[in-house]
Amino acid sequence: MSLIVKNITKKYGDKVVVEDLSFSIENPGVYALLGTNGAGKTTSLRIILGMLSKDGGDVLWKGKTLDTVNANVGYLAEERGLYPKYSLLDQLLYFAKLRNVPKKTAMSRIEYWSDRLSVNEYIFPPKVKGKTVKANKADQLSKGNQQKIQLMAALISDPELIILDEPLSGLDPVNTELFKGIIREEIAKDKFLIMSSHQMPVIEEFCSDITIMNRGKAVLQGNLNEIKKSYGRVNLFVKSDVEIASYIENFGIQITNKTPGEYQLKVLGEEQAMAFLTKLIQDKIPIVKFELREPSLHEIFIEKVGDTHDEK
């Protein structure tokens, strides 16, 4: 195992905000930490990073307690974490120094990432009439550009373990794709990533293993494909040029949703779906879509925490 999180617990006064959370990561790739607002994701990530004290449990990286000496870790925090009044270049060099990156290496990485993320003009202010324009401070940047600088800070040490707390929140579609591309590249470099996100399609795109938290506890854990398989193929999407609502109901299938022309149905399993398809064909009902699939992560998430997620 590369990362082992064993029974971590955190209390604030009497309130237990993370309770006995355990999971492990064996192979490179992205591990997802999901949960409703206040479920304890950020707290757990900060405990894993060693930024926050814990009331119990262990975090091991390659067999040793995870700390900044034995692990090269990068962290993109959910909230903005730049110093508002210092120049961006100074801050990036400072983060690099904290993580023992030699200045020359740090400079070449800053140049690479500022190009890649199109933030050159903020980090290396251009010359106007021979004079360098005053360097930008963090509080003069848009939210998305601050996020880019924080991503640069997270990646400045070329970390082996990368912790991304809501990395895509607040980004426009173009920058979302840019960040996703960078995440894909880090995966291709065999990095270990832990990502928290409320965007279920993003989790489905990147993550093989997940933990869903609710009120500080893990309520569902495992391989996403296996979890989906365990639910079975019970979601049927049918689209027809004609009105078939009563036809479906007469067959004894439940309609869970209807959008223009398309019905979302809940079937008992593949057998019932196939019997329904056979009947549609026999009765010559014009069908333009017939798709049977497992529940989405969104549906699984709602089922697991939908009624119970209110903060204590």
Ligand X SMILES: Nc1ncnc2c1ncn2[C@@H]1O[C@H](COP(=O)(O)OP(=O)(O)OP(=O)(O)O)[C@@H](O)[C@H]1O
> By C-beta, is 18 or 110 nearer to ligand X?
18
Q: Interface with ligand X includes 43 (CB under 6 A)?
A: yes
Among 28, 29, 38, 125, binds ligand X (CB under 6 A): 38
Contact flags string 68-87 toward ligand X, x per CB under 6 A: ----------x---------
How far, in Å, CA of 126 to CA of 135, rounded?
A: 9
Among 37, 246, 259, 282, binds ligand X (CB under 6 A): 37
> By C-beta, is 59 or 238 nearer to ligand X?
59
Among 42, 91, 157, 197, binds ligand X (CB under 6 A): 42
Q: Interface with ligand X includes 40 (CB under 6 A)?
A: yes
Cβ contacts of residue 216 below 8 Å, gap of 6+?
10, 16, 17, 18, 19, 21, 39, 40
> Which H/E stretch holds residue 211?
strand 207-214
> Which H/E stretch holds residue 117?
none
Q: Interface with ligand X includes 53 (CB under 6 A)?
A: no
Contact flags string 234-263 toward ligand X, x per CB under 6 A: ------------------------------
Q: Interface with ligand X includes 39 (CB under 6 A)?
A: yes
Give CB contacts under 8 A, 24+ apart, made by 167-174: 167/76, 167/195, 167/197, 168/197, 168/199, 168/202, 169/78, 169/197, 169/198, 169/199, 170/143, 170/144, 171/144, 171/147, 172/144
> By C-beta, is 17 or 32 nearer to ligand X?
17
The interface region with ligand X, picked from 41-49, 133-141, 202-210, 266-274 by CB under 6 A, is: 41-49
Q: Interface with ligand X includes 12 (CB under 6 A)?
A: yes
Asked if residue 99 lies in contact with residue 160, where contact means CB atoms within 8 angstroms, the answer is no
> Which H/E stretch holds residue 126?
none
Rule CB under 6 A: which residues touch ligand X? 12, 17, 35, 37-43, 78, 311
